[in-house]
Amino acid sequence: MIDFNTLFKTSYGLHIISSGDDKRRNGFISNTIFQVTAEPAQFAACVNKNNYTCEFIEKYGSFDVSALHQNTDSEIFGRFGNKSGRDFNKLEGITLKYCETGVPIIMNDSIAFIECEVVQKFDVGTHMIFIGELIQAEIIDDEKEDVKLSDLPEDWTCPMCGAEKEDFIEI
């Protein structure tokens, strides 16, 4: 089932991109996910090659994007933004759901998720861009709003790279 209303929840905000299976899995905070086609619905996820989750997307050929709500617990940002899954099981104690591809879907503080199978990938130097075809989408919490760059405080810094809010461009 695909709930196309979910597509309205995937703005330029903060998301958790995850991949893996029920034994080996990982996820990270990202603001580089966007829809690239309407029919079929496809999304691009830009992932640093050094990111542990990149290995899982390459291996399993699928990824999930969980859209985070405005009041996401800071523990979620710390867990998925500041720690490496190579050294720490980021998903331990997290509420997960597994769907068609077996990719773990992060339910904590998520308002919606999309599940994609990789149909193309591009090596763009330090990063890989994965194009995933939408195979499942669901709204988890229709009452909460997603995190938008404009909603973040002026002194916000990216938990992944340390860049300040002013270094980002809202699209």
Confidence at residue 137, expressed as pLDDT on a 0 to 100 scale: 92
- pLDDT(8) > 80: no
Take residue 102 and report the two structure tokens written for it: 């077996």
Contacts of 169 (CB under 8 A, 6+ apart): none
The architecture (CATH level 2) of 4-167 comes to Roll (2.30)
- pLDDT(161) > 60: no
Residue with the bigger pLDDT between 167 and 40: it is 40
CB neighbours of residue 50 within 10 Å: 10
Structure confidence at residue 91 as a pLDDT band (50, 70, 90): confident
Q: Which of 28-42, 55-69, 76-90 has the lowest average pLDDT? A: 76-90
- pLDDT(1) > 70: yes
Q: Which of 22-31, 33-42, 51-60 has the lowest average pLDDT? A: 22-31
CB neighbours of residue 16 within 10 Å: 30
